[in-house]
């Protein structure tokens, strides 16, 4: 439906999967793919003239970046989290944000299961000794996971799937979530996080990176955990106090830990990794690879790229993180206008009054609202004048107006 696809410029950062590049290039877009993340000043210098921006977890899209983005219409987060994007500023500029909330769930869950087994069997220590030429055939400190209790903090997409797989392996499961969540299978919902910590053999965190979660798991929480228990964090680095975690491990209170995310992470492959957790026995450190399987990255690449292309060409915001979800089927031979606006009464009537005044024939419309903002798609048969567009843009409630064809 969009006639100027060749002019659409796409900037993809952080080595986004080639499937995304292929999908966007097949739409006729000009795609530039960059291996590493960019910091704020670097992104500001590169963002001008870019219509679509693709990132993963390390690139921060701040209000200053969005202010410098003179052509940006949508951002694709090729991951689960979107806390690295200033969603309030994006919405205020009428920029749609899309992510991949389900595509790498299985990959994260499988890594968590593998790490639980590895720590419970003390495989990291046995492996290190073998590489040093030491044969230490002993069952001391090695256990089965069957019959042990897994405590899951955050019972979302990842937490629930981990719950089911852990039960299938013979574990008991408890979970804690601030939201009201339905327990799957035989999982036990804990009334408090303290109950979960005091009764679990393994504690794993699966929460988002909103500012309110920063540093919520520290010294007091580790003290509450059972002696000899295990700890995992595959969610966000800012959630856990790593100094407190090191102390809990060095004191022997915790028997092991697996950490995939860190408060400060290197920008690119090969850069030095600095952490308080380096060098500790029975601690598994991985470079933020929870969702980094070829299957997951391929799925994410195709999913988010499709959402970006659909928004550019059809104006569809289905599963957008920040704008109201609207998906109107495409009709051949018609023009389409997308209108992001402040959610106040009478906007639809005002838009249609302008169209009627200029004798514009409306073939289809769909309006949805979410909080402060509304989004309206209008399909039009026949032509319309620049004056119509100017009138719509000049409406007091208008945030952004896009003509798709």
Q: How far apart are CA 64 and CA 86, in angstroms?
A: 10
DSSP 5: G
The alpha carbon of residue 339 and the mean position of all alpha carbons in its chain are separated, in whole angstroms, by 26
What's the pLDDT tens digit per position in 200-213? 999 999 998 888 88
Residue 96: what are its φ and ψ, rounded to 5°?
-80, 140
pLDDT under 50: residue ranges of the chain: 1-5
Rounded to whole angstroms, how far apart are CA atoms 184 and 228? 27
Name the DSSP letter for residue 342: E
Which among 398, 253, 387 has a CA at the least distance from the CA of 338?
A: 398
Q: Given 3.40.1000.10, 3.30.70.260, 3.30.720.210, 3.50.50.60, which CATH number is that of 324-405? A: 3.30.70.260
Instruction: Give me the active site residues, please.
Output: 236, 265, 288
The CA angle 57-62-67, to the nearest 5 degrees, is 140
> 105-285 and 324-405 share one CATH topology?
no
pLDDT computed for residue 238 by the predictor: 94
User: What is the sign of the dihedral through the CA atoms of 255, 260, 265 and 270?
Assistant: positive
DSSP 234-259: -S-GGGB-HHHHHHHHHTTSEEEEEE
Token pair, residue 363, equals 């073939």
pLDDT at 214: 86
**139 exposed, middle or buried (CB, 10 Å; 0-12, 13-18, 19+)?**
exposed
pTM: predicted TM-score of the whole model, two decimal places: 0.83
Output phi, psi for 226, to 5 deg.
-70, 145
Q: What pLDDT is attached to residue 209?
A: 81
Nearby residues of 370 by Cβ (< 8 Å), 6 or more positions away: 323, 324, 325, 343
Look at strands 188-189 and 254-259 and give their pairing.
unpaired
pLDDT value of residue 243: 97
Alpha helices in 153-283 (DSSP H): 157-168, 193-199, 219-224, 242-250
Q: Residue 73 has what pLDDT?
A: 97
Scanning 210-365, the segments in alpha helix (DSSP H) are 219-224, 242-250, 294-314, 347-357
Give the bridge partners for 362, in sequence order.
Answer: 380
Class of domain 105-285: alpha beta
Q: Each residue of 225-253: b (16+ CB within 10 Å) or e?
A: bbeebbbbbbbbbbbbbbebbbebbeeee
Q: In angstroms, how far is the first alpha carbon of the chain from the final one?
A: 6
Hey, what are 130's tokens? Answer: 């073998």
- CATH number of this structure's domain 1-104+294-323: 3.40.50.720
Which tokens is 385 given? Answer: 């004048």
Domain edges within the chain: 1-104+294-323, 105-285, 324-405
């Amino acid at each position: 439906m969009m006639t100027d696809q060749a002019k659409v410029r796409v900037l993809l950062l952080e080595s986004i999967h080639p499937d995304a590049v292929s999908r966007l290039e097949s739409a006729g877009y000009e795609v530039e793919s960059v291996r590493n993340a960019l910091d704020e000043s670097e992104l500001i210098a590169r963002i001008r003239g870019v219509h679509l921006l693709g990132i993963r977890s390390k690139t921060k899209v701040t209000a200053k970046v969005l202010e410098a983005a003179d052509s940006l219409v949508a951002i694709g987060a090729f991951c689960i989290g979107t806390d690295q994007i200033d969603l309030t500023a994006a919405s205020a500029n009428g920029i749609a944000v899309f992510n991949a909330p389900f595509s790498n769930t299985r990959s994260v869950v499988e890594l968590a299961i593998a790490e639980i087994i590895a720590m419970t069997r003390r495989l990291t220590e046995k492996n290190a000794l073998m590489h040093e030429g030491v044969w230490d055939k002993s069952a001391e400190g090695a256990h089965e996971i069957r019959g042990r209790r897994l405590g899951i903090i955050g019972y979302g997409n990842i937490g629930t799937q981990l719950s089911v797989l852990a039960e299938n392996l013979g574990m008991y499961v408890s979970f804690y979530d601030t939201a009201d969540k339905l327990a799957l299978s035989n999982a036990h919902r804990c009334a408090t996080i303290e109950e979960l910590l005091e009764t679990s053999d393994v504690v794993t965190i699966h929460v988002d990176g909103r500012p309110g979660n920063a540093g919520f798991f520290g010294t007091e929480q580790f003290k509450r955990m059972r002696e000899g228990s295990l700890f995992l964090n595959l969610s966000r680095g800012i959630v856990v106090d790593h100094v407190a975690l090191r102390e809990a491990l060095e004191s022997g209170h915790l028997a092991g830990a697996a950490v995939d995310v860190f408060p400060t992470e290197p920008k690119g492959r090969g850069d030095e990794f600095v952490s308080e957790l380096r060098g500790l026995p029975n601690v598994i450190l991985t470079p933020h690879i929870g969702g980094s399987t070829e299957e997951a990255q391929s799925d994410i690449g195709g999913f988010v790229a499709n959402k970006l292309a659909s928004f550019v060409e059809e104006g569809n915001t289905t599963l957008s993180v920040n704008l109201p979800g609207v998906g109107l089927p495409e009709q051949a031979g018609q023009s389409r206008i997308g209108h992001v606006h402040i959610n106040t009464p009478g906007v639809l009537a005002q838009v249609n009054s302008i169209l009627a005044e200029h004798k514009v024939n409306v073939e289809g419309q769909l309006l949805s609202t979410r909080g402060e903002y509304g989004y309206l798609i209008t399909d039009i048969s026949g032509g319309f004048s620049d004056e119509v567009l100017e009138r719509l843009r000049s409406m007091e409630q208008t945030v952004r107006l896009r003509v798709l064809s």
